[in-house]
Structure 1
Amino acid sequence: MKLIYYLLFFSLINASVYSQNPNKPMKDLLSAYSFTSSTTTLDDLEISYIKEGSGEKTLLFVHGLSSNSDAWSKNIEILRKDYTCIALDLPGYGRSSKPDVDYTPSYFSEILHQFIEKLELKNIVLIGHSMGGQASIKFVSTFPNEIEKLILIAPAGLEQFSETNVVLMKSFFTSELVKNTSDEQIEKNYALNFHVQPFEVTKMIDDRKRIKVASDFDAHCYAIVSSVYGMLDDSVYDDLKAISQKTLVIFGGKDLLIPNRYFNPTITTKDVGNIAIEKINKVCLKFIEDAGHFVQFEKPNETNILIKQFVDDK
């Protein structure tokens, strides 16, 4: 009788756990964003985005790798008072569709172009972080007349890698590796993004752990890996000289991810920033000391001030 009782007890527990997450997609497992999100369609893709504020100028925010539109919450909270602020979940991320495509900067550039046309956005200042920065560079070089100014925050794409290192990175970084990341490693990975990790990062970490059981988690892991391969293969280095817009580049003084300390141990973040100075025509380079790679989340006040000064400057 006791055996039957225990079997029934554990069956109920398993049924309860399963019923909480019965193969739900990521969009249903992620915690609520700081602002209400909307959805638009681009061909057969659903694109989730946040829109706050109603200013004359539009700030269009593009998130980085393994992230989503909520990464800009601390910036939108303040900047929406003066501008129309829009942040989208790129395909493969957040609450947007996760198609089986090559996630290259050129692909994201085309998505941004379609998104801007669909929402009929005007007076745009494009703001990209990390991977989103590289996508923004590709966008500006491909569609030079669609934005007024460009802001790159800890952008990928300036730092270069040898062919040997590219092959090595690809051989190591696989979908299986991403999919099987332990909870402990997830926490360590997030910590690398900050000099001093804000307490709100707990929400991001919890979300990353929660989506492991999502029905589209495999597709998300593929998107992450394909995005890394895309950044390596679809270089924007030669596109930098084609940027005609006034450009603000912001780095954290304590960035642990750019440059890659393993593959480029002899260069510094300031060296990477100087590439922007050398290659982009109308550029201003700023460093926020005591900030890591996720500059806009760790030091939002300082970042918001720089953004506002740059956007308002005639």
Structure 2
Amino acid sequence: MSSNPTSHFVIIPNRPVVQEDGDIKQDRLKLHYWEWKGRQPTILFCHAASFHGRCYDRIINEALSGFHVIALDFRGHGRSQTHPPPYRFRWFGEDVLEFTETLNLSKNNLIGIGHSLGGYALTWAAAAASKQLFQSLLLLDPVILSPAMYQESENYSLISEFILQRRSQWSSIEDMMSRLKKRETFSQWPKDVLRNYCTYAVDENHKLVCAPDGEASIYQSSNQPDSDIYALIEKSKYISHITIHIVRSSTTILSWNALDISPTEPELVKWFKTGRDTQFENVRHLFPMEQPQIVIDIVKELMEKNNKPLSHL
């Protein structure tokens, strides 16, 4: 597998897309993805909100060398199509389902690895699919909240207000890196991971592709009733056949950044017949970027298990 992936676009028909006048219409959605060619099975990477598919290059290159890997850029992120807010949380799950079906990825014993929003989207797709979509899922701090949170009227207004004040324009990639590494959120990122984020998070004018108002709308939608995934999981005929490993960050406050705490329902594993739960203490929500070795080791273990013959059958 080459460490330099190729860039591809795919058109997904009949998806909800916000128009310039604010109307939501069923329209064509242009999604972008990166592809590392290699042997089967195929591994689909789905990223966190406001990031993109190239944030996990170190994990892919060190843990999945030689395998066929696809890293999707969600709508409003990376090189995929953008539109005005809102960005509804469940749309990302629907997009993943349509994306995998359009590329016929499930024929290759598909493995899904998703971080944060990406973990939610993969789970949504797996639960909504009319067949078994994945062989296994690795969910890294998925934004699947406690069931009661979807019934509450509280929104993420404070987080959204903070996001809306973020800088979104820089003079260069180097300028962006030098400023971000001084911020708490990015201060612990290895330099190569930070450079990858900065390189692919901006357009040709060094402006954030995932604009602050778009990111804020994602968080605002995350605990709305239409984002509740539990009924979908309960009704699914196929998700019980998927091996699911949930990896959670700390639930204790490690800083004053509310986004550092794990958003995942602690009892989520009980919703999956073949679920497994791992929690790391003193690890923050962005651990795949801050401490990629944690995920590298877990992914290597996943692939070793995947390659073992099923002798018990």
State the TM-score, normalizing by the size of structure 1.
0.70
Q: Which one of 38, 41, 49 corresponds to residue 11 of structure 2?
A: 41
Aligned length: 274
More helix by share: 1
Counterpart check, 1:177 vs 2:165: yes
Contact 1:129 1:154 in 2 (8 A): yes
Bigger strand share: 2
1:295 is displaced (CA, Å) by 2.5
Alignment of 1:209-228 (within 5 A): 220-228=211-219
**Structure 1 partner of 2:137:** 150
Distance apart, 1:147 and its partner CA: 1.6
Q: Does 1:141 align with 2:127?
A: yes
* Structure 1 residue runs without a partner (length 5+): 1-32
The one of 286, 289, 303 equivalent to 1:294 is 286
What residue identity is the alignment partner of 1:145?
Answer: Q
- Offset, 1:48: 1.8
What's the secondary structure of 2:118's corresponding residue? helix
Highest CA radius of gyration, 1 or 2?
1
CA drift of 1:278 comes to 2.9
Separation (CA, whole Å) in 2 of partners of 1:257 and 1:278: 26
SS in 1 for 2:154: helix
Structure 2 unmatched runs, 5+: 14-27, 171-175
Structure 1 residue 102, shift from structure 2 partner: 4.0
1:246 equivalent to 2:243? Answer yes
Instruction: Report the secondary structure of 1:117's partner residue.
Output: helix
Q: Secondary structure at the match of 1:38?
A: strand
CA deviation profile, 1:248-281 (whole Å, cap 9, x unmatched): 11123488689x97699xxx75x95631233322
| Separation (CA, whole Å) in 2 of partners of 1:256 and 1:36 | 39
| Seq. identity, % | 20
Q: Verify the 8 A CA contact 1:134 1:157 in the aligned structure 2.
A: yes
1:163 to 129, 152, 158: 152
Aligned to 1:65: 49
Cα 1:229–1:125 shift into 2, 3 Å: same
- Calculate the aligned-residue CA RMSD, in Å: 3.9
TM-score, scaled to structure 2: 0.71
Tell me if structure 2 keeps the 8 A contact 1:53–1:81: no
Superposed, 1:81-230 pairs within 5 Å as 81-100=65-84, 102-121=86-105, 122=107, 123-143=109-129, 145-159=132-146, 161=149, 163-166=152-155, 168-169=157-158, 172=161, 176-178=164-166, 187=180, 191-192=184-185, 196-203=188-195, 206-207=198-199, 220-230=211-221
Q: Which amino acid aligns with 2:8?
A: S
The 1-side partners of 2:37 and 2:265 are apart by 31
Distance 1:139 1:189 in 2: 37
Q: Which amino acid aligns with 2:133?
A: E
CA–CA separation in structure 2 for the residues paired with 1:300 and 1:289:
15
1:281 to 267, 270, 273: 273
Q: 3-state DSSP class of the match of 1:56?
A: strand
Match of 1:232 among 223, 226, 231: 223
Return the letter of the residue paired with 2:228. Answer: S
Q: Is the 8 A contact 1:179 1:218 kept in 2?
A: no
State the Cα deviation string for residues 161-207 of structure 1 (Å, max 9, x = none). Answer: 47353264587367x434669979x738963367x432234425745
